[in-house]
Amino acid sequence: MNRVYIKTYGCQMNERDSEAVAAMLRGRGYRIVDDENACDILLLNTCSVRDAAEQKALGKAGYAAARKKRQPDFVIGILGCMAQNRGAAILDTLPDVDLVIGTQKFHQVPGYLDNLRAAREAGLPIGASIVDIAEEAGSQNTIRDHLDAEAGAAPQVSAFVSIQQGCNMDCHFCIVPKTRGDERSRPMEAIVAECRSLASKGVREITLLGQIVTSYGRRDYRHTDGVSPFVQLLEKVHEIDGIERIRFTSPHPRGFKDDLVAAYARLPKLCEYVHLPMQSGSDRILRAMNRPYSRERYLKIVEALRSARPDMYFSTDIIVGYPGETEADFEQTRELFESCNYDMAYIFKYSVRSGTVAAELADQVPEAEKERRNQVLLDILHRNSEQRTAALIGTTQEVLVDGPDKTGRRFTGRTRGNRVCIFDADPRLIGQLVPLHIERASVSTLYGSLVLAGVSDRAGETHSAPRAAPASAAA
């Protein structure tokens, strides 16, 4: 009873949490498997941002419960945001669930599984399900373990590093402050040490994670010469040998002060890609959402970032159909969305989340109208993205080689602008930064051929090929 399958719903923070749980479990002798049908323990790391995400996880748990009827020793665990939000109430509809573990208790999962395992191996009755959603001081420091590649597997090229958890923003549509707790930051030296360790194992790209990542350390560290703690952290990670690219998510527009904008111009490892949540382009709706910026301020941030890096790529979050959103409000959102010319966007139809201010508001927008507004923005995004990728045909882009693509016949990597690329390559180039000549493009994917002159693999061999012209536009 030691084979574990972890299914993750939701954001990159959840992905990172699952990875840390997997690393801790492997350290205890558990096997992490890729096939849920081959596991003894199913862990669902859940999301509560939208009702649809919760319903998917509940449906999966219900399906797994049927298996438990056939295999009484089969263990089902629900972790993360939905566990934190619903707590023991999950057991009212899913009494066969063994573990309900909240967002500040991920590090306790191995111990709880050990207890369940020992009881079953001894033939003892299990008793009540384990529910642990209590707050725990210092829990932000426990998400630090990474799942090392198994022998013979491709090396890890990029990694998520959790730097901050929780949120104090109190946006009226958002359940995150309830599921993740108050803002808490990890010590800067611990984060830098984690990044340095990852670099020593071959990681070339780091993505710093937090609920409001740009708020990192604001209560723990001083601003120095106008430089925020978050930018100080970026500077320290930038100094690490072996780390070639730095990204971060998810920020808040209020975090983009002059020091962060300037960092894009002076820190070459900081990729020219920004996720900048807008949520709405209407000042009236932004106030209703309790978002402390205006459409004018948001647009100035976009312009400042494009001034610092003219080749900047942008993604965003948008909610359509927020309670009380009129056609005029939506039109302001559409105008701002179009003028910002996003390369990627996460567009959501407003979903009622129990326990939030917005859930109690009148004047809910009809579902059909939410769908229409959603599609209007998706059409704009499709057009923008198609134009941006088409403009890259004929250029040469720096690509970090991740590994084989889904087919196993070709390789995949990403540009600095976070565009997925597909190409032929030698496995020895995994983890290398290589020039890729772009030959064709779809809406979201680039296809090309490597320009290999002067590119060294991990064994120190140099591959020769005709040189191409330098990149004409960074992607």
Per-residue tokens: 45 = 């790391």
Same domain, 79 and 146: no
Q: State whether the Cα torsion 400-401-403-408 is positive or negative.
A: positive
**Last-in-domain residue among 90, 116, 132:** 132
Place of tokens 């009827």: 69
Residues facing 407 on adjacent strands: none
Total domains in the fold of the chain: 3
Q: How far apart are CA 465 and CA 453, in angstroms?
A: 5
Judge whether 340 is annotated as a binding position: no
**Last-in-domain residue among 132, 165, 193:** 132
**Last-in-domain residue among 346, 361, 385:** 385
Judge whether 39 is annotated as a binding position: no
Residue at 144 is within a domain: yes
Q: How far apart are CA 78 and CA 472, in angstroms?
A: 48
Q: How many CB atoms lie within 10 A of CB 367?
A: 11
Residue at 327 is within a domain: yes
Residues facing 6 on adjacent strands: 43
Residue at 441 is within a domain: yes
CATH at 63: 3.40.50.12160
Q: Do 234 and 263 contact (CB within 8 A), yes or no?
A: yes
The 8-class DSSP code of residue 472 comes to S
pLDDT (tens digit per residue) in 173-212: 999 999 999 999 999 999 999 999 999 999 999 999 999 9
Quote the domain boundaries for residue 81: 3-132
Angle at 60 between CA 17 and CA 404, to 5 degrees: 55
* Per-residue three-class SS string for 378-410: HHHHHHHHHHHHHHCCCCEEEEEEEEECCCCCC
Q: How far apart are CA 298 and CA 291, in angstroms?
A: 11
Same domain, 167 and 39: no
Q: How many CB atoms lie within 10 A of CB 389?
A: 21
Residue at 468 is within a domain: no
Q: Do 226 and 259 contact (CB within 8 A), yes or no?
A: yes
pLDDT (tens digit per residue) in 299-325: 999 999 999 999 999 999 999 999 999
Judge whether 271 is annotated as a binding position: no
Judge whether 167 is annotated as a binding position: yes
Residue at 326 is within a domain: yes
Residue 448 CA to its chain's centroid (Å):
27
Same domain, 216 and 259: yes
- Output phi, psi for 358, to 5 deg: -65, -25
| pLDDT in 10s for each residue of the chain, 475 residues | 789 999 999 999 999 999 999 999 999 999 999 999 999 999 999 999 888 889 999 999 999 999 988 888 899 999 999 999 999 999 999 999 999 999 999 999 999 999 988 877 766 656 679 999 999 999 999 999 998 876 556 679 999 999 999 999 999 999 999 999 999 999 999 999 999 999 999 999 999 999 999 999 999 999 999 999 999 999 999 999 999 999 999 999 999 999 999 999 999 999 999 999 999 999 999 999 999 999 999 999 999 999 999 999 999 999 999 999 999 999 999 999 999 999 999 999 999 998 899 999 999 999 999 999 999 999 999 999 999 999 999 999 999 999 999 888 999 999 999 999 999 999 999 999 999 999 999 999 999 999 975 554 444 444 443 333 333 344 4
The 8-class DSSP code of residue 214 comes to G
Residues facing 349 on adjacent strands: 320
* Per-residue three-class SS string for 250-318: CCCHHHCCHHHHHHHHHCCCECCEEECCCECCCHHHHHHHCCCCCHHHHHHHHHHHHHHCCCCEEEEEE
